[in-house]
Amino acid sequence: MKVINSLVNVCFIFAFSASNVFSSDVKPDELVRDVVGEIMHLVETDPDVSAGDMAKTIAFVEAQVAPHFDFPRMARLAVGRPWRNATPEQRALIVQEFRILLVRSYAAAFTRFKGIKIEVLPLRASENPKWALVESSIKLPTAVAQPISLNYDMEVIEGKWKVFDLQIDGASLIVNNRSLFQREIQSSGIDGLIETLRQKNAQSVSAETGSR
């Protein structure tokens, strides 16, 4: 089950890694713009990451990226209406497996794309000061490739900006996953979705072990 485009994964890491200050008094576009250059440099120069050290990469994602995601909200929105019928235990398992899947996906994509350039656009005014849409443009290394838009839906949660959705060329991560999740739920129920996510995570571990 394909959860997210690899290019989105790696660009999302570039934009939101290595920042210890996600305070709501820092403008989201300024935050992203400042961090992009630092992370691009890290990815290009870190020999372990460049060599595909997944343990180090996953540890980095866990420490620097995962805290800035609103995983419970993302999972709830991706599941949609069936979330209401899920037990507390099922909800917790969905969030857990969805989180693992995204973190490992980001880590796996970390070294795949080099030479890209990301331009963060000026922040548009919002009527709600606790919500923001940060827009960016990704320029690929090949001259013939068209720039890709990558936008971030962010909201202030407990005084910090957190991401609850992202869009690549207008395609929402939440909407894409909702279609996949609901097909699984219609076929096998909530427990079937949980098992599918577990299997996907297990396959990722096996693939990493086999490539060593």
DSSP conformational letter for 125: P
Q: Which tokens belong to 190?
A: 């909530």
Model confidence, pTM: 0.80
Q: What is the pLDDT of residue 4?
A: 45
Q: What is the pLDDT of residue 21?
A: 47
Q: What is the pLDDT of residue 174?
A: 93
Specify the residue for token string 């979705």: 193
Determine the CATH number of domain 6-210.
Answer: 3.10.450.710
Long-range (24+ apart) CB contacts under 8 A made by 150-157 are 150/8, 150/11, 150/12, 150/15, 150/118, 152/12, 152/15, 152/16, 152/28, 152/32, 154/28, 155/70, 155/130, 155/131, 156/24, 156/129, 156/130, 156/131, 157/70
- Give strand ranges (E) for 15-158: 117-120, 131-139, 148-157
Q: What is the pLDDT of residue 106?
A: 72
- Give the pLDDT confidence of 95-153 residue by residue, as tens digits: 999 999 888 887 776 656 667 788 889 999 889 989 999 898 988 777 667 888 988 89
Q: What is the pLDDT of residue 211?
A: 58
Q: Which tokens belong to 155?
A: 């909201």
How far apart CA 119 and CA 19 sit, in angstroms, is 18
Give the start-to-end residue ranges of the domains of the chain. Answer: 6-210
Query: Which residue positions in the chain have pLDDT lower than 50?
Result: 2-4, 18-21
| CA-based nearest residue to 43, from 6, 15, 8 | 15
